[in-house]
Amino acid sequence: MNPLLLVVNAGSSSLKFGVYEGNEESLDLAYSGQITGIGSHAPHFRVRTSERPGLVDRVLSADDAGSLDAAQVLVSVWLAQNLKRDPDAVGHRIVHGGPNYRDSVLITPEVVAELEGLASLAPLHQLNNLHPVHVIAQRWPNLPQVACFDTAFHRGHSDITERFAIPERFFQQGVRRYGFHGLSYEYISGYLKRHCPTLADGRVVVAHLGSGASACALKGGRSVDTTMGFTALDGLPMCTRPGRLDAGVVLWMMEQGMSHQDVQHVLYYESGLKGLSGMADMRELLASTAPQAELAIAYFAYRTAESIAGLCVALGGLDTLVFTAGIGENCAEIRSRVCAHLEWLGLRLNAQENWRNGSTISADNSAVSVLVVPTNEEWVMANKTLKVLMEL
């Protein structure tokens, strides 16, 4: 009997899950679901299969998913009612793996303790990622659980791209550029190898644009540089995070009497698109006529293009640009604006394909291929979970 695998991706206001069944040669998706808007007045619960994209699609009451705990209970009940048997293993997305984890690992109490110690490096994500681990361990103490790290894909960077220009003692304490969204980039790398092998062998930049945003340079399918660093604050501007920021700004905030907690709240919850416009959702920004909305959109596109151009240094040029994640996959206006800043590279868009969210949106005469590829972090997690399970 093929293993049945559950993968869980717990965020700050959402809980995603996937159920896969298969073996090392082929993993089939049985269910994919998510609860969004946890803690809001109208959370939403969706579940789909390949045959039934709207298997579950309902708005919940605030009490049904008022917290991550409540959302987990709801998902657990639904899974218990619909799965034909208990899963053989559970894989979890863990944003930060620190300096010691280069691949997915079986979760033990020692691993949990080490990962909880990294919470200050990813305060929006780390403890939420680990929360389902504790809940599942209490209910099924013998069920193997696997940590799948967002940082692992970027391990192996050169000293030049991994280090900061600060004293060596800090590097030895783990202060380095880790990079994030690795599960997404690993999926895109594998997708290109399977479907576009010629492009996969070239110089590729992937722009993962969502509520969190970053870009990654791929050479031969491997990460050689990325925009995020020590924490998920660095690089591109995001919905509520500033992206690249002069460290002197933080020193100035502290000089004004702001506490560590005050500064952290500003950087993680009040900055980025929200800081520029008061709006954190790109859809809301694009629908607005407010000058501040235009400023936020233009800033996001400019800084994204600037960072993509910077990654070309690691690659020695650019053959392929891939857009992925929520904004990257669905927002033609943002793709158009980003690419307009990169026309000096010989990049040309096919406007019609871009506006219909086609898979290839570059024009025939473009020197750079431009693709739109939906990411699938849960599929990567399922494969990694299966690999660890097979090694037990």
Hey, which residues are catalytic here?
150
**Residue type at 286 in one-letter notation:** L
- Cα–Cα separations (whole angstroms), residue 371 to 231, 280, 335: 28, 26, 10
Q: Given the structure tokens 């994919």, which residue do they identify?
A: 32
Rounded to whole angstroms, the Cα distance separating 201 from 359 reads 19
DSSP labels, 247-296: HHHHHHHHHTT--HHHHHHHHHHS-HHHHHHS---HHHHHH---HHHHHH
Rounded to whole angstroms, the Cα distance separating 43 from 13 reads 9
Beginning with the edge strand found earlier in the chain, give each strand of the sheet holding 222-226 in spatial order. 222-226, 213-219, 203-209, 320-324, 369-372
- Name which of 93, 54, 60, 101 is nearest 77 in CA terms: 60
- Name which of 239, 236, 217 is nearest 228 in CA terms: 236
Cα dihedral 96, 99, 101, 107 sign: negative
Count the alpha carbons within 13 Å of 324 in the hemisphere toward its beta carbon: 27
Beta strands in 68-202 (DSSP E): 89-94, 105-106, 145-149
Rounded to whole angstroms, the Cα distance separating 17 from 46 reads 10
DSSP labels, 345-390: GT--B-HHHHHTT-SB-B-TT-SSEEEE----HHHHHHHHHHHHHH
- Name which of 45, 49, 52, 54 is nearest 74 in CA terms: 45
- Tell me the three state secondary structure of residue 150: coil
Rounded to whole angstroms, the Cα distance separating 160 from 357 reads 36
Start-to-end Cα distance in the chain: 17
